[in-house]
Amino acid sequence: CIRPRDIPILKNLLDIKEELLDGNDFRLVFTFKENEYFTETELSTTIIMDKKDNELISEVKGTKITWQEIKDVTRRVVNKKNRSAKNTFAIKLPSFFSIFTNLKRVEINHAYYDDIVEDLQTQEEIAVEIANELIPRAVYYYLGLIAVSYTHLRAHETSLHLVCRLLLEKKKTT
C-alpha cells in the first residue's frame, strides 16, 4: 500500500491516534508537520461499520487533502491532444494517501455493491492494521521497551513496519 512516492511525504508524519466511536466505528488521525506536499497538518479517516453486518464497512470518510501543485501522489494529470482539441484527465494512482478518499457502500435490492470494491477493502485493511497493530505498540517502541533494529525492520518491511520505522527515525532525530 505504501509506494515509493509516498515515503518522502510520510517522513513528515509526527503522530497517529485512534479515536473509538459508536459501535465498532473508529477514526484514525494522522498529524504531519508543515510540508511541501499538502496544506493540512492533520488528516483523518473514519471507518463506519455496517449496522446490520458489523464485519462489513459501510462508509469511509476521509479528509479532503489540499495538494500543492504537482504534488498529488494519488493521481496523475494527463494532457492528450488530438487534431481538434486538447483533453485533460486524471489517472488514479495507488497510494497510501488513498485511505483519505471518501467511499460509500450502497445497497440495491438487498445486495451490497461498492462504488470501488477494491479501494474500500484496501482502506479497511490499512486502517485496521494501523489501529490493531501499530497504535497499541507505539508507546513501547517509543520508550524502547521493544527493541527493534532498523536492519530487522528493513529486511521484513511491510507497509506497517515502514510507518513504524519512519516514526522511530523521527524520534531518534528529536
pLDDT band at 82; cut points 50, 70, 90: confident
Higher pLDDT, 63 or 171: 63
Higher pLDDT, 84 or 163: 84
pLDDT band at 126; cut points 50, 70, 90: confident
Residue 72, pLDDT score: 92
- The pTM (predicted TM-score) of the whole model is 0.71
Residue 153, pLDDT score: 47
How many angstroms separate the CA atoms of 28 and 17, rounded?
A: 6
For 23, phi then psi, to 5°, come to 60, -130
For residue 58, give the C-alpha cell.
459501510
pLDDT band at 115; cut points 50, 70, 90: very low
Higher pLDDT, 43 or 98: 43
Residue 78, pLDDT score: 81
Sheet architecture: strand order including 111-114: 13-20, 26-32, 42-49, 57-62, 103-108, 111-114
| DSSP class of 40 | -
